[in-house]
């Protein structure tokens, strides 16, 4: 493995300016995930100015996962019916899934990437419901936990191409190959992006600790995301022939404390929500 | 609405059939909701209302899971998992539960 590929962590952060930028309103929403005193009607008007984003958000809001009796036809209505936080997370999901260019890195299957992300998000949301944790925050964290892979594929397409080929050749874990060849991994890249895009601290912490949820202070969200991602791999929802289930932290698994019966329900609900969400987010 | 249904004459309706669309009477009111399971009384009532054809959901033949294919795929997905490793028991449990789920053992959906 060549050392010439090594990415200097500083360039990782600098280079993020080359990454696609999110609509200004989405940046505003991201930074505000922990706040509750925002001018909601102003935000609703700003989002409504983006037609494509509005359409996608409303399709999500009207999907059966949210069980609305009356269809929401405007962002303001969605906020009234679903609440501000749920709508905010839907807007972010709709914006994120469309904002990275595809095809820069040949071995990077961005459709499979998003399928896995949406499956993880669906599972995180279902787990959160079972555990009385904030479902919307869990969904967003599940959706974004692997975003560092997109950063590496977009920012360093040639180097990442070699990483992906090497991973396939060795049939090894992605993180290990990234570490060995680049000197950093997609969790580092995700954390850098989280800083750059001003994700909330909760979200950033969950991304940082997704592989090590047993770290003291990692937070419960990291536990949910860690297990949700493993479930998404195990349910084979990415449609990736080379799919591999990563190690599952026994500490995280135990912390969720679910019975087998509960798990079978979680699998079923995850698959149902995944199907509906991916049909909307991947158009 | 849905395309996976059959139009069934009221004389051929059987209890347990599922309505694939809502039934609307001549006043535009919903008589029966989509997804309603038809019972003896409902079928009699449809006859009284002189309803002719009823859209009934087509039941797909249930294909039992292929145990060997399920296990082979799970073996591959969990190929880095070491069954006897005490530090990796959570992975083993996840695998077992997913297998039970795929094989439709345990709790019904």
Q: What is the pLDDT of residue A196?
A: 81
Is A243 in contact with B77 (Cβ distance < 8 A)? yes
First to last CA, chain A: 38
**Chain centroid offset of residue B3 CA:** 16
pLDDT tens-digit series, residues A214-248? 999 899 999 999 999 999 999 999 999 999 999 99
Nearest to B100 among A231, A248, A264 (CB): A264
Read off the pTM: 0.80
Of A99, A118, A138, which residue is a domain's last? Answer: A99
Residue of A64, A211, A248, A257 to mutate, interface with B, max B Cβ within 10 Å: A248
pLDDT tens-digit series, residues A119-152? 999 999 999 999 999 998 899 899 999 999 998 9
Of A99, A117, A140, which residue is a domain's last? Answer: A99
Is a pLDDT exceeding 90 seen at residue A260?
A: yes
Is A263 in contact with B97 (Cβ distance < 8 A)? yes
Q: Are residues A222 and A253 in the same domain?
A: yes
Compare A2 and B105 and report the one with higher pLDDT. Answer: B105
Measured between alpha carbons, how far is A162 from A170 in angstroms, rounded to an integer? 12
Q: Which of A77-81, A196-200, B18-22, B79-83 has maximum average pLDDT?
A: A77-81
Is B81 in contact with A245 (Cβ distance < 8 A)? yes
Nearest to A264 among B81, B89, B97 (CB): B97
Q: What is the pLDDT of residue A85?
A: 79
Q: Are residues A263 and A211 in the same domain?
A: yes
Give residue ranges of B with CB < 8 Å to any A CB.
Answer: 73-74, 76-81, 87-91, 93-95, 97-98, 100-101, 106-107, 109
Is B94 in contact with A254 (Cβ distance < 8 A)? no
ipTM surpasses cut 0.85 = yes
Q: Say yes or no: A149 contacts chain B, CB-CB below 8 A.
A: no
Q: What is the pLDDT of residue B109?
A: 45
Is B107 in contact with A264 (Cβ distance < 8 A)? yes
pLDDT band at A262 (very low <50, low <70, confident <90, very high): very high
| Cβ neighbours of B98 in A, within 8 Å | 234-235, 267
pLDDT tens-digit series, residues B50-101? 888 888 888 777 788 899 999 999 999 999 988 777 778 999 999 999 999 9
Q: What is the pLDDT of residue A113?
A: 94
Beta bridge partners of B8: B54
Q: Which domain holds residue A186?
A: 3-20+102-281
Q: Are residues A172 and A275 in the same domain?
A: yes
For residue A274, count CB atoms less than 10 angstroms from its CB and return exposed for 0-12, middle for 13-18, buried for 19 or more.
buried
Is a pLDDT exceeding 70 seen at residue A51?
A: yes
Buried b (16+ CB within 10 A) or exposed e, A61-95: bbbebeeeeeebeebbbbbebbebbbbbbbbbbbb
- Cβ neighbour number for residue A21 with a 10 Å cutoff: 13
Q: Are residues A13 and A111 in the same domain?
A: yes
Q: Are residues A249 and A113 in the same domain?
A: yes
Q: What is the pLDDT of residue B1?
A: 44
Q: Are residues A222 and A274 in the same domain?
A: yes
Number of folded domains that form chain A:
2
Nearest 5°: the CA angle A261, A266, A267 is 100
Q: Are residues A79 and A196 in the same domain?
A: no
A:B CB pairs within 8 Å: 64
Q: Are residues A25 and A61 in the same domain?
A: yes
Asked whether the beta carbons of A282 and A117 are under 8 A apart, the reply is no
Find the closest chain A residue to B79 by CA distance. Answer: A244
Q: Are residues A15 and A130 in the same domain?
A: yes
Q: Say yes or no: A244 contacts chain B, CB-CB below 8 A.
A: yes
Q: Are residues A46 and A113 in the same domain?
A: no
Q: Does domain B5-57 have CATH number 3.40.50.720?
A: no
Q: Are residues A174 and A108 in the same domain?
A: yes
Residue of A214, A257, A263 to mutate, interface with B, max B Cβ within 10 Å: A263
Of A60, A77, A99, which residue is a domain's last? Answer: A99
Q: What is the pLDDT of residue A21?
A: 65
Q: Are residues A162 and A203 in the same domain?
A: yes
């Amino acid at each position: 493995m060549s050392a010439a590929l090594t990415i200097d962590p500083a360039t990782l952060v600098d280079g993020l300016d080359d990454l696609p930028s999110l609509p200004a309103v989405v940046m505003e929403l991201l930074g505000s995930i922990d706040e509750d005193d925002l001018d909601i009607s102003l935000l609703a008007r700003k989002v409504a100015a983006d037609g494509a984003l509005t359409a996608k958000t409303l399709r999500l809001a009207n999907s059966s996962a949210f069980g609305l009796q009356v269809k929401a036809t405007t962002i303001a209505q969605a906020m009234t019916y679903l609440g501000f936080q749920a709508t905010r997370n839907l807007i972010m999901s709709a914006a994120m899934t469309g904002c990275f260019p595809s095809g820069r890195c040949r071995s990077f299957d961005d459709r499979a990437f998003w399928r896995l992300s949406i499956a993880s998000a669906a599972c995180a949301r279902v787990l959160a419901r079972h555990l009385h944790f904030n479902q919307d925050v869990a969904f967003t964290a599940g959706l974004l936990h692997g975003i560092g892979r997109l950063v590496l594929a977009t920012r360093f397409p040639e180097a990442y191409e070699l990483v992906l080929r090497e991973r396939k050749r060795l049939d090894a874990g992605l993180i290990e190959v990234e570490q060995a060849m680049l000197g950093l991994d997609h969790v580092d890249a995700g954390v850098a992006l989280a800083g750059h895009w001003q994700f909330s601290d909760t979200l950033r912490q969950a991304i940082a600790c997704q592989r090590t949820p047993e770290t003291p202070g990692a937070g419960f969200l990291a536990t949910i995301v860690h297990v949700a991602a493993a479930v998404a791999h195990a349910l084979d929802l990415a449609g990736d022939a080379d799919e591999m289930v990563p190690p599952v932290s026994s500490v995280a698994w135990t912390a969720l404390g679910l019975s087998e019966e509960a798990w079978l329900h979680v699998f079923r609900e995850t698959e149902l929500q995944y199907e509906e969400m991916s049909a909307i987010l991947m158009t | 609405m849905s395309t996976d249904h059959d139009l069934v004459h009221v004389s051929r309706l059987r209890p347990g059939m599922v309505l694939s669309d809502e039934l609307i009477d001549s006043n535009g009111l919903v008589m029966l909701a989509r997804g309603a399971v038809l019972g003896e009384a409902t079928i009699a009532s449809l006859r009284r209302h002189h309803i002719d054809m009823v859209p009934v959901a087509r039941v797909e033949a249930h294909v039992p899971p292929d145990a060997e294919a399920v296990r082979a795929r799970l073996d591959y997905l969990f190929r880095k998992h070491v069954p006897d490793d005490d530090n990796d028991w959570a992975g083993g449990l996840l695998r077992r539960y997913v297998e039970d789920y795929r094989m439709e053992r345990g709790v019904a959906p």
